[in-house]
Amino acid sequence: MVHYVVDIKPVSRRNSPKPAPKRLWTASDPPYDGYKPVDTTTYHTSTPDSAIVIDNGSSAVRAGWQFEQAPRLAFPPLMARYVDRKLNRKFCFIGSDLYADGTARGQAKNVYEPGSDIVNNWDAQEGVLDYVFIKLGLDGSRGAVDRPVVMTEPLANLGYARKVMSELLFELYGVPSVAYGIDSLFSYAYNRGHNGIVVSSSYMSTHLIPVMDSKPLLAHATRLDWGRCQSAEYLMKLLKAKYPTLPGKLNDTQVEDLVRQHCYVSQDYSRDSVAFLDWTGLEDRDVVVQMPFTERVEIQKTEEELARAAEKRKEGGRRLQEQAAKMRLEKLIRKEQELEYYKELQQKLAIATKKEAKALLDAEDFDDEAQLEKKMKEMDKSIRKARNKDVGDVEEIEEPPTYPLLDTPDEELDEEGLKQKRQQRLLKANHDARARAKAEKEREKSRLVEEERLDAEKRATNLEAWVEERRVERQAMIQRIKDRDRLKADLGNRKSLASQMRMKSIANLASDNPKKRRRGGDDDNFGADDADWGIYRAIATGDQSDDDDEEDLNAGLKNIEAQLLKYDPNFTEDSTRDAQTDWTKSLMHSFLRGAWPYDAENQKENNQFHLNVERIRVPEIVFQPALAGLDQAGIVEIAADMITQRLSDISGSGDLLKDIFLTGGNTMFKGFEERLQVELRAVLPAESTLTVRGAGDPVLDAWRGAAQWASTPSSRQAFITREEYMEKGGDYIKEHNLGNAYI
């Protein structure tokens, strides 16, 4: 016995539906993190040369004493200074404190200009420094800040910026001595680096600095103008373009948090991005963020309520029916009674004299006997019909109605006769028309039946040709649907030809002298010809247009497809138009709405957005700035150029590769280190050893490095004292290993 295993083809190859999203993320709250207390004790116990270390960063200002382990203060460099009209009071909030109030938040000014790490707003900088000194407990008993200050500045800081900063520190605050340094170099020194390339990707920019023997080769340092701030802006723009109808608005801090939480660096962007929108596993990779929304209140009737309503309706219907039946019956009885009465009247007429007969007829509002006869006949007929309907036993005998008067010529009849003749003509015409219509319907029916028979015959005899015919028809229908869609789209676009033609016809209709003049006379006989009304169908668009047409086309298509499915062996479920426009196979649907169906009415879904490809697209820009339209090289290319070309003539440049050091908040993406390692490995000479390492704490190590450096006695040589400043001016700078050089 042979066992055959039949291939069980799945009923539908549509991708299977997914369970509900595991977690709905929400946009973050404003980062207000509480009141920072003022601490005066540390100040009083500190020695006069313990420096205040300020990491004046663009994402956050971190400040503290040099002997502490971590910066005491960390806040964004924002200031909000305004006058409250109601209370008539000046307010000034710094840092994250201003997130506590909506007005303050609206008035926030950043110290830095967006996109650069050079200080721009000096009033805000003053406010920030005030805040730092207040919170560190300085009492200003001598009318000045009397501790040295170590401050960080960006690589290749502009002379003007340094000058104004020194002016602030020395003249406004009376600081005894100041030192400037580069934050990434501080971080490197703190992480015990001596030879290497420092890759510092922070908030507003990314720097690459080669360091040899603890000395930075500033001439070969490079800056890429991309950091977390630009990433956040880019993500915001991406989301706005992707979801133009999203009602909620995201602000910068929320977008930054999204970048921080959900983005990561992919190892191979081209491959990963395509794989991202794959159906399998999409629900794990896709991040759904829900914005606040108001639920549209729809009073959902419960099952039993609905059942009860249906019952009531049926009851009502039944009652109505009963009432109607009763009324009909009553009418019937009344009619019969009337008929009886008329019969009596007729009998009376037969025996009455002429005058009495006239009188009787007048009393009943009849003109002569013929009318009475007619009325009686009518009533009889209607009674019979009604009884037939209700009771249904008496079959109506259809007799062809006779029109005796039609044949007699006009002259022979009197006035009465003429009237009668006209009436009869009308009746005859009616009757004829009805007969014609019935005949037409019969003919139509028989024709359809005939067609079907022919069709079945054809199918039986020549399956191929029939199938072919059907396919062609289906194609034609699909084409018509497509054309109709295209026409609709065209009409939406203001500049298309269809739209312009439509405008022309509207203008033509509305104008007083239409362009086309009818030959012979210009009275407006629009509408006499039935085809004229078709113009309104042509100019109707959108909601006004005939929806029936669409339904017809769709229904027709379904019909044909059903037939094909039944008879054509090659036409499977997949080939149906339905399967082809299936949303689960649609790339755009996965892109926009993830792995779940989209309901346009659902308010909850309308306020959601999905992050899928953006998760890897945004951090990719540091490696490929061309993605964002930035005309600069990516960090891999910069590093490779640096090694192979600019530093090739300096001995020991190969050693730099042994320690590629990552610091700065923007390098904390998952996969950043591996990606950099892999890509650099690919472009560098094979024999060079390559190690990539990250800072212990990419965010705080700069401050810690500065504090550590300030604690070393040798660093004091690099401090500029107040007297030196007064003498030599604001441009004076002392070069040291961890700072800028004089230009």
Q: How is residue 310 written in tokens? A: 């249906």
Residues 239-268 that bind other proteins (CB under 8 A): 240-242, 244
Pairwise CA distance, residues 286 & 731, whole Å = 53
Please identify, using beta-carbon distances, which residue of 363 and 588 lies nearer to other proteins: 588
Instruction: Decide if residue 351 touches other proteins (CB under 8 A).
Output: no
In whole angstroms, how close is the CB of 432 to other proteins at the nearest point?
56
Q: Least distance to other proteins from the beta carbon of 169, Å?
A: 11
Residues 57, 51 contacting (CB under 8 angstroms): no
Indicate whether 584 belongs to the interface with other proteins (CB under 8 A): no
Are 210 and 222 within 8 A, CB to CB?
no
- Closer Cβ to other proteins, 144 or 352, answer by number: 144
Give 143 or 527: the residue with its C-beta nearer to other proteins. Answer: 143
Question: By three-state DSSP, how is residue 315 classified?
Answer: helix
CA-to-CA distance for 705 and 184, rounded, in angstroms?
9
Q: Which residues, numbered 489-548, are part of the site for other proteins (CB under 8 A)?
A: 489
427-433-434 Cα angle (round to 5): 90
Rank residues 46 and 273 by Cβ distance to other proteins and give the closer one: 273
Judged by beta carbon, residue 37 or residue 569, the one nearer other proteins is 37
Residue closer to other proteins (CB basis): 136 or 668 = 136
User: What residues form DSSP beta bridges with 197?
Assistant: 210, 660
H helices present in 511-634, as ranges: 534-539, 547-567, 577-580, 587-593, 603-606, 614-620
Of 52, 218, 700, 702, the one binding other proteins (CB under 8 A) is 218
What is residue 610's DSSP assignment? E
At residue 89, the 3 state secondary structure works out as strand
**Residue number, 12 or 116, with CB nearest to other proteins:** 116
Query: Which of the ranges 152-160, 330-338, 386-394, 659-667 carries the binding residues for other proteins, by CB under 8 A?
Result: 152-160
Encoding tokens for residue 100? 């506590």
* One residue of 160, 341, 533, 567 binding other proteins per CB under 8 A: 160
Q: Shortest gap between Cβ of 50 and other proteins (angstroms)?
A: 16
- List binders of other proteins among 71-100 (CB under 8 A): 81, 84, 89-94, 97-100
Binding map of other proteins across residues 439-478, x = CB under 8 A, - = no contact: ----------------------------------------
The DSSP line for 541-562 is -GGGS-HHHHHHHHHHHHHHHH
Q: Phi/psi at 145 (nearest 5 deg)?
A: -80, 125
Shortest Cβ 305–other proteins spacing (Å): 35
Task: Between 174 and 654, name the residue whose CB sits nearer to other proteins.
Answer: 174
Q: How many CB atoms lie within 10 A of CB 8?
A: 6
Interacting span for other proteins (CB under 8 A) from 46-54, 231-239, 296-304, 447-455: 231-239
Contacts (Cβ under 8 Å, ≥6 apart) of 91: 80, 81, 82, 83, 84, 104
From 62, 223, 285, 593, residue interacting with other proteins (rule: CB under 8 A) = 223
720 phi and psi angles, rounded to 5 deg = -95, 125
Least Å distance, CB 611 to other proteins, is 11
Shortest Å, Cβ 93 to other proteins: 6
Binding to other proteins (CB under 8 A): which residues in 19-38? 30, 32, 35
Closest by Cα among 613, 616, 632 to 624? 632
> What distance in Å separates the CA atoms of residue 624 and residue 234, rounded to the nearest whole number?
14
Q: How far is the CB of 192 from other proteins (least distance, A)?
A: 25
Q: Which two tokens stand for residue 517?
A: 């003049």
Exactly one of 12, 42, 161, 291 binds other proteins (CB under 8 A); that residue is 161
* Stretch of residues binding other proteins (CB under 8 A), selected from 370-378, 441-449, 528-536, 617-625: 617-625
- At 735, give phi and psi (nearest 5°): -80, 140
Number of residues engaging other proteins in binding (CB under 8 A): 94
Stretch that binds other proteins, among 50-58, 257-265, 593-601, 624-632 (CB under 8 A): 624-632
If DSSP codes are grouped into helix, strand and coil, which group holds residue 611?
Answer: strand
| Residue among 148 and 634 whose Cβ is closer to other proteins | 634
Of 625-684, which residues contact other proteins (CB under 8 A)?
Answer: 625-634, 637-638
Residues in the chain: 743
Q: Tell me the CA distances in angstroms from 126 to 108, 184, 462, one per residue in order.
A: 14, 24, 92
Contact call for residues 81 and 121 (beta carbons, < 8 A): no
- Closest to other proteins by CB, 467 vs 616, is 616
The radius of gyration computed from the CA coordinates of the chain, to the nearest angstrom, equals 46
Query: Of 277, 289, 560, 680, which lies in the binding site for other proteins, with binding defined by CB under 8 A?
Result: 277
Compute the distance between CA of residue 117 and CA of residue 206 in angstroms, rounded to an integer.
10
- Residues 311, 306: Cα–Cα separation, whole Å: 9
Provide φ and ψ at 35, rounded to 5°.
-75, 135
106-135: which residues touch other proteins (CB under 8 A)? 113, 116, 118, 120-123, 126-127, 130-131, 133-134
Q: Which of residues 174-213 bind other proteins (CB under 8 A)?
A: 174
In the complex, minimum distance from the CB of residue 173 to other proteins, in angstroms, rounded to a whole number: 6
Q: Is the Cβ of residue 175 or residue 700 nearer to other proteins in the bound state? A: 175
Binding mask 585-604 for other proteins (x = CB under 8 A): -xxx--x-------------
Distance in angstroms (rounded) separating the CA atoms of residues 366 and 582: 74
Which tokens is 439 given?
A: 């005949």
> CB-based contacts of 428: which residues, under 8 Å, 6+ apart?
401, 403, 406
| Binds other proteins by CB under 8 A, chosen from 73, 238, 360, 690 | 238
The site string for other proteins over 37-76 (x = CB under 8 A, - otherwise) reads ----------------------------------------
Under rule CB under 8 A, residue 4 binds other proteins:
no
Q: Least separation, in Å, of the C-beta of 597 and other proteins?
A: 17
Please state the closest distance from residue 743 (CB atom) to other proteins, in A.
5
Report in angstroms how near the CB of residue 239 gets to other proteins at its nearest.
Answer: 11
Map tokens 């069980």 to a residue. 8
Neighbours of 3 (CB within 10 A): 4
- For 469, 488, 564, 583, the CA distances from 557, given in Å and listed in that order, are 14, 19, 10, 19
Residue type, 111: V
